Amino acid sequence: MGRINLSIDEKELQELDYMSGKVNISRSKLIREAIQLYKKEFDKKNMENRRIEKIKNAIRIQDSLRKYSKGWDGVSEIRKWREAR
């Protein structure tokens, strides 16, 4: 396991000690768990941002296709296919 030095102000250190005492774990373990929680949130936000970018890209593609299909009515085309069944 790697080691790091961490500088925090006195108030944050007191809060860290209070929390670690409440859950009966060491400072190091509390910080490791906090990092894991932060990473989960970070990953969740990152996935959401990627999803949004994919949606935006799909909209850009649809918009560019719409320019090439002037006069084509997708709704009426679907109706024709349904009626042909």
Residues in the chain predicted with pLDDT less than 50, given as ranges, are none
Going 25 to 29 to 35 to 36, the CA torsion angle's sign is: negative
The tally of domains found in the chain comes to: 1
- Is the residue at 24 inside a domain? yes
- Is the residue at 1 inside a domain? no
- Is the residue at 79 inside a domain? yes
Helix 27-68 vs helix 10-23: crossing angle, to nearest 10: 100
Q: In which domain, by residue range, is 28 found?
A: 10-84
pLDDT at 85: 82
pLDDT at 75: 86
- Is the residue at 3 inside a domain? no
| Run of H or E residues at 52 | helix 27-68
pLDDT at 72: 79
Radius of gyration of the chain, Cα coordinates, nearest whole angstrom:
27
- Is the residue at 47 inside a domain? yes
- Is the residue at 2 inside a domain? no
